[in-house]
Amino acid sequence: MGARTYGAVLPRWLGITLLVGTWHLAGCSAYRVNHTAEPFLAEYAAGPAAAEPPQFSLARPSLPESGSAAQRSRADQFSVSHPRVDDYVTSFQTDSRGFYQRALNRGSRYLPRMERVLREENVPTELAYLPLIESGFRTHAVSRAGAVGPWQFIRATGRRYGLRIDGYVDERRDPVKATRAAARYLKDLYAQFGDWHLSLAAYNTGEMHIQRELNRGRAEDYWEMSERGYLARETCNFVPQFLAALQIAQDPTAYGFEQPPDEPLQYDLVRVSHSVPLKTVAKITNTSVDQISELNPALHRGVTPPQGYTVRVPKGTKDIVEVALARMRHDARQVVAAPLPSTPETYKLRKGDSLAAVAKRHGVSLTALLKANRIRDARRVAAGRVLRLPAGARSAKVAAPARAPQRLAARRAR
């Protein structure tokens, strides 16, 4: 479907003359689609064509005729015929073609689980394609405004809908958990506005802005609000951009795109009770750190939190990982529990000890003890030093060192 021209095209001089006076009336229709900007990368940077006359269109969208808006299925609002939707279809097919194909391919790894979450939350599955224009399905996408992840949550909204955001974890990057948060947010917006176009606009600009415009009574729906210039340019573009992206995604080959690969991410879940580096998980599963990081995009420090975490591992490796981590945990506890002061390997020198007595007590020569610890002068070794015992040393009960005879005699003389 190509772009269409609606309304009268004004002569250049008249268009320039009337531009200032009619800017408010024209609203979003004064903007042409920027066919050179990728939607996410440009953050909807389509601007007015300075050398072109503005085009005015107060066209309303054509919706399926299946009763009143209240009775019509909410999914019907995603099948819209409108000139601005057509413009974005053309944009995706031409200058933004590479972006769209890459985003569609990337999204195929996440869409099955996203759609399942939306169904569980009783939200239309068509909304699973919203991250296509929000982020290009990039889990690590960050906007200029600080929105993060495939669904582009700002910190406050993410936390409001239950996403963990701290020094170890940012669940805005998690394609499953962020989808559930987005579904609940969108469901709340639909409950407030009763219209998916308004709900999508509110998702982009904030529900307070949309509610304020409705309260003013100047517009009844998104399209009127948009055409009359009551919305920011980005929000004006956001809804038709999404509808165009969805239209293509439902039948990519019909619009000249390749069918995305059917290769969704597959993984098992392993609960760990302590901090585990992702490189350790990669080594256990014989994969790369990049592969483990792709499965766990919310972990932005390359390690699981010390309080415990459910980590994703490659499909079929759950048992291997659980056994390996349990063994490592057991070995670590054994090392921590091992007594340091007196073992066949080490001995902590106590006040009054002599190196000769320590060597004799453990069945090694004084020379061997000095050599093992690189000690040149036995008289300069202080109490508290941990000595390495040479190979072949035997364990011995640590008895209190005997006082030197001359010291005892001196005390008795007092």
Length of the chain: 414
Please give the average per-residue pLDDT across 407-413, as a whole number.
48
Whether 405 shows a pLDDT value over 80: the answer reads: no
Whether 348 shows a pLDDT value over 90: the answer reads: no
Shared domain for 298 and 379, answered yes or no, is no
Using the Cα atoms of residue 97, residue 100, residue 105 and residue 106 in order, give the sign of their dihedral.
positive
Shared domain for 239 and 326, answered yes or no, is no
**153 part of a folded domain:** no
For residues 222 and 202, what is the distance between their CA atoms, to the nearest angstrom?
Answer: 10
**174 part of a folded domain:** no
Q: What proportion of the chain, given as a percentage, has pLDDT over 90?
A: 57
3-state secondary structure of 299: strand
* Of 102, 104, 127, 132, the residue nearest 114 (C-alpha): 127
Does residue 135 contact residue 142 with C-beta atoms inside 8 Å? no
Report the amino acid identity of residue 401: P
**2 part of a folded domain:** no
Chain mean position to CA 245 = 22
DSSP letter assigned to residue 61: P
Residue with tokens 């409950």: 191
Q: Which positions are catalytic? A: 134
Shared domain for 97 and 221, answered yes or no, is yes
For residues 414 and 403, what is the distance between their CA atoms, to the nearest angstrom?
Answer: 16
Q: How far apart are the first and last CA of the chain?
A: 112
Shared domain for 251 and 276, answered yes or no, is no
pTM of the model: 0.68
Query: Which H helix or E strand runs over 347?
Result: strand 346-348
Residue 340's pLDDT band (cuts 50, 70, 90): very low
Domain termination residue (choose one: 212, 231, 255)? 255
DSSP letter assigned to residue 78: G
Say how many CA atoms lie within 13 Å of 124 toward its Cβ.
19
* Of 8, 51, 49, the residue nearest 30 (C-alpha): 49
Put residue 280 in one of left, alpha, beta given phi > 0 → left and psi -120 to 50 → alpha.
alpha
**169 part of a folded domain:** no
Shared domain for 119 and 194, answered yes or no, is yes
* Of 43, 14, 47, 16, the residue nearest 30 (C-alpha): 47
DSSP-assigned beta bridge partners for residue 299: 169
DSSP-assigned beta bridge partners for residue 81: 62
**122 part of a folded domain:** yes
Looking at the 3D structure of the chain, how many domains does it have? 3
Residue 90's pLDDT band (cuts 50, 70, 90): very high
The CATH number given to whatever domain includes residue 404 is 3.10.350.10
Residue 27's pLDDT band (cuts 50, 70, 90): low
Domain of residue 303: give its range: 267-337
* Of 371, 372, 361, 368, the residue nearest 394 (C-alpha): 361
Domain termination residue (choose one: 255, 280, 315)? 255
Shared domain for 329 and 351, answered yes or no, is no
**160 part of a folded domain:** no
135 vs 366, residue with greater confidence: 135
* Of 41, 4, 82, the residue nearest 246 (C-alpha): 82
Whether 276 shows a pLDDT value over 60: the answer reads: yes
* 2-16, 52-66, 133-147, 244-258, range with the lowest pLDDT: 2-16
Q: What proportion of the chain, given as a percentage, has pLDDT over 70?
A: 72
For residues 318 and 295, what is the distance between their CA atoms, to the nearest angstrom?
Answer: 14
DSSP letter assigned to residue 81: B
For residues 125 and 177, what is the distance between their CA atoms, to the nearest angstrom?
Answer: 16
Shared domain for 287 and 320, answered yes or no, is yes
Residue with tokens 């947010």: 185
Shared domain for 354 and 332, answered yes or no, is no
Shared domain for 50 and 184, answered yes or no, is yes
Domain termination residue (choose one: 255, 276, 294)? 255
Q: Burial, 116: exposed, middle or buried (Cβ in 10 Å; 0-12, 13-18, 19+)?
A: middle
pLDDT tens per residue across span 49-83? 322 323 323 344 444 444 444 434 555 788 888 99
